[in-house]
Amino acid sequence: MPHGKTERFRPSDTLQVREFTVTLYARFAAHLDSILDGMEERGQLPAALDRRAIAIEPPRDASHGDMAINAAMVLAKPAKTNPRALAELLVAELEKLDEVESVAIAGPGFLNLTLTRATWEAELNAIQAAGEDFGRSDLGAGLRVNVEYVSANPTGPMHMGHCRGAVVGDALATLLAYTGHQVTREYYVNDAGGQVQVLGRSAHVRYREALGETVEVPEGLYPGDYLVPVGQALAKEFGDRYVGAPEAEWLALFRTRAVAAMMDMIRDDLALLGIHHDLFSSEAQLQAAGKPEEAEATLRARDLIYDGVLEKPKGQADEEWEPVELPLFRSTQFGDDQDRPIKKSDGTWTYFGADMAYHYQKAATADQLIDIWGADHAGTVKRITAAVAALTGGKVPLDVKLIQMVRLLRDGEPVKMSKRSGNFVTLAEVVQEVGKDVVRFTMLTRKPDAQMDFDFAKVVEASKDNPVFYVQYAHARISSLGRRAAETFGELPAVDLSHLGTDEIALVKAAANFPRIVESAAKNREPHRVAFYLYDLAAAFHAWWNMGNDDPAKRVIVAEAPEVSAARLYLGRAVGQIIRNGLMLMGVAALTEMT
RNA sequence: GCGCCCGUAGCUCAGCUGGAUAGAGCACUCGCCUUCUAAGCGAGCGGUCACUGGUUCGAAUCCAGUCGGGCGCACCA
């Protein structure tokens, strides 16, 4: 396998065999395991203790050293000893490790390790050697993960309500690919329900308009002028053939054409955000292929679907309520409020009935399913997770990630949106106004289950208040260092890391934490953690940089000291590499200069 | 009424699935700009982690309940 030239990172590219840098923390986990094994053999510990609660992590307070281990506290009770005694035994073993400078017992029984300087210098070299693969891992072990996100109804352009889920889903997919999962990015096209019928009728109105009629879009149809070109295309293709024709003659055709046009538009909108799905699955095709019937048969065989009558909804005055017998899924067995119909009384599938089959289909080629949904669909999570569990025998877990609402603000005032009037803020408008990178980064600066404000003024502000700018600025500064070093020195001397001081080593430690962040973000499926980490790393870098303001000898480029400059530049570039890697996971470009 | 999410500094939010003295930005106070990009920097002030119980060596984190806010409660999608 050719080494040397780094190959370009592609989000969905995970199958190649790669060599991964074994991370510092993974090494110590292995060290600790063998130490504990040895203690078991010598009878210092009972055999087969549960080690899962043992954590090796950086201490919150740097004065506690580089690494904290809670093993003595976790194991003391099952080992029927006290944390202190166990800690003493562990200290003796840990001190034998080459990478360990010293070990202290602190607090209720923490083992605080201080690592040797050589260890941190090696970490810095590891970052440089691994480049864009520093942080990449085989955590997922090739597990096939299907991430379904966006899946906006094909009835109009993308609006800002779709944006957050799109970005979070995309970043999550990238993150999973980077951590060794085999990822499929999927979009479910809801082209079979009543809404696309309405779309077809709306297109017919625009079709008549294109043929010269003066039309008014009737109440209940889609008024947006994005259907005008669709009508024009239909007019050009079919002439006036369907003007006075009964709906049955043209509706299916117009619906199909309109959906295709809407999907083209949506794909373009998504491309503006750098989002490209691997697979678009059609609900209509799913139904035509008889998939819902298959799913129904499977569930009926397990007595999870029965024909029954739903109870009258409580607390609502509804004279229209009539008891009807429908095929119902026993979602109450899984904690849902009521059993859910999979078909309507007219015999067509409910959304849930088709969606259940759709997930069944996805599960056939995946080990895990992830859905990114808006929080307004929270009420339907139980029924679908229950159905997937039943259909797959629990073998393919479904994780539904709910994304909370985004409130758009302009000058501190909420921007009003109304889908019905067609008056909504489109994704394309926002991307055009503030830029792809700002939109993506901002959407990832809040955990998904918290609501969020998106203020047009604040997100483009060039100041420290704005994390997008702050992180980009750090990267741009690092890029400018390279240019300036070339101007100042031409050729730099070989890098000698002994020129780095404790401030610099502290920065190495911050940068070396990146793989842990990536791993935890992937495990928890929370890409926002990368954004917060990058902000912290950028802050550490800026602080280092600013030391040069007070003391010129602490600047990165010191004209009189090329050896020192070379070492500091090497460190700066490593930090830049980490920022690039993190931004790449977020789908955000790393700027080489601020404009 | 029921379900899900949220409640952490005056404000906006983190808190790495149970760890040590709960963190960052803004705001406020004090001190710093003839710059390797001050598009800021350093220091300080500021908390009953909504409340009450429980679980254990140890809780902002897990469990139960209460209060407050958001979203949802069709055979819709």
Encode pLDDT of A178-214 as tens digits: 999 999 999 999 999 889 999 999 999 999 999 999 9
Q: What is the pLDDT of residue A549?
A: 82
Q: What is the pLDDT of residue A417?
A: 64
Q: Is the CB of A61 under 7 A from strand B?
A: yes
Structure tokens at A441: 């980064």
CB proximity list for A130: less than 8 A, separation 6 or greater: A21, A136
Structure tokens at A475: 């990267």
Q: Cα–Cα–Cα angle for A308, A314, A318, nearest 5°?
A: 90
Q: What is the pLDDT of residue A4?
A: 28
Strand B nucleotides within 7 Å of a protein CB: 1-6, 12-26, 35-42, 57-58, 70-77
pLDDT band at A425 (very low <50, low <70, confident <90, very high): confident
pLDDT band at A6 (very low <50, low <70, confident <90, very high): very low
Q: How far apart are CA A386 and CA A394, in angstroms?
A: 9
Q: What is the pLDDT of residue A451?
A: 83
Q: Would you say A573 and A127 are in contact if contact means Cβ atoms under 8 Å apart?
A: no
Q: What is the pLDDT of residue A420?
A: 52
* Percent of the residues in chain A that have a pLDDT greater than 90, as a whole number: 66
Mean pLDDT for all residues in chain A? 89
Q: How far apart are CA A256 and CA A284, in angstroms?
A: 10
Q: What does R_g of chain A's alpha carbons equal in angstroms?
A: 29
- For range A104-124, the mean pLDDT: 92
Using CA of residue A265, residue A271, residue A275, residue A279, what is the dihedral sign?
Answer: positive
Q: Is the CB of A451 under 7 A from strand B?
A: yes
Q: What is the pLDDT of residue A421?
A: 54
Can you tell me whether residue A415 is helix, strand or coil?
coil
Backbone angles phi, psi at A275, to 5 degrees: -105, 125
Q: Is the CB of A144 under 7 A from strand B?
A: no
Q: Cα–Cα–Cα angle for A426, A427, A433, nearest 5°?
A: 95
Closest nucleotide relative to residue A517's CA, C1' based: B16
Decide which of A313 and A403 is more confident. Answer: A403
pLDDT band at A16 (very low <50, low <70, confident <90, very high): very low
Q: Would you say A529 and A448 are in contact if contact means Cβ atoms under 8 Å apart?
A: no
pLDDT band at A332 (very low <50, low <70, confident <90, very high): confident
pLDDT band at A113 (very low <50, low <70, confident <90, very high): very high
Exposure string of A347-363, with b = 16+ CB inside 10 Å and e = fewer, is eebbebbbbbbbbbbbb
Q: How far apart are CA A210 and CA A235, in angstroms?
A: 6
- For range A426-438, the mean pLDDT: 92
Q: How far apart are CA A461 and CA A443, in angstroms?
A: 16
Tens-digit pLDDT profile for residues A35-58: 999 999 998 888 888 888 888 888
The spacing between the Cα labelled CA in A39 and the C1' in B25, in angstroms, equals 47
Tens-digit pLDDT profile for residues A546-587: 888 878 888 999 888 999 999 999 999 999 999 999 999 999
Q: Is the CB of A409 under 7 A from strand B?
A: no
Decide which of A310 and A368 is more confident. Answer: A368
Q: In Å, what is the CA distance from A343 to each residue of A320, A368, A426, A509?
A: 19, 27, 34, 58
If 0-12 CB within 10 Å is exposed, 13-18 middle and 19+ buried, where does residue A545 land? middle
Chain A 325-344 residues whose Cβ is under 7 Å from strand B: 326, 337, 340-341, 344
Tell which phi-psi region holds residue A358, choosing left (phi > 0), alpha (psi between -120 and 50) or beta.
alpha
- For range A523-531, the mean pLDDT: 93
Tens-digit pLDDT profile for residues A440-492: 999 999 998 888 888 888 888 877 778 888 999 999 999 999 888 988 888 88
Q: Would you say A292 and A286 are in contact if contact means Cβ atoms under 8 Å apart?
A: yes
- Residue type, position A281, single letter: S
- For range A24-33, the mean pLDDT: 90
Structure tokens at A217: 């879009």
Choose among A36, A352, A410: nearest CA to A190.
A352
CB proximity list for A167: less than 8 A, separation 6 or greater: A273, A275, A439, A440, A443, A444, A587
* Nearest protein residue, CA measured to C1' of B1: A315
Q: How far apart are CA A109 and CA A102, in angstroms?
A: 16
Q: What is the pLDDT of residue A490?
A: 85
Tens-digit pLDDT profile for residues A233-264: 999 999 999 999 999 999 999 999 999 999 99
At residue A339, does pLDDT exceed 80? yes
- Residue type, position A252, single letter: A
Structure tokens at A215: 């039309």
pLDDT band at A406 (very low <50, low <70, confident <90, very high): confident
Q: Would you say A454 and A442 are in contact if contact means Cβ atoms under 8 Å apart?
A: yes
Q: What is the pLDDT of residue A290?
A: 95
* Residue A161, H or E segment: helix A160-178
If 0-12 CB within 10 Å is exposed, 13-18 middle and 19+ buried, where does residue A140 land? buried
Which residue pairs, CB below 8 angstroms and at least 24 apart, start in A28-35? Answer: A28/A56, A28/A67, A28/A69, A28/A99, A28/A113, A29/A56, A31/A94, A31/A97, A32/A56, A32/A69, A32/A71, A32/A94, A35/A90, A35/A93, A35/A94
- For range A341-362, the mean pLDDT: 94
Q: Is the CB of A98 under 7 A from strand B?
A: no
CB proximity list for A175: less than 8 A, separation 6 or greater: A518, A521, A522, A527, A530, A585
Chain A 221-280 residues whose Cβ is under 7 Å from strand B: none
pLDDT band at A10 (very low <50, low <70, confident <90, very high): very low
Structure tokens at A585: 């996971």
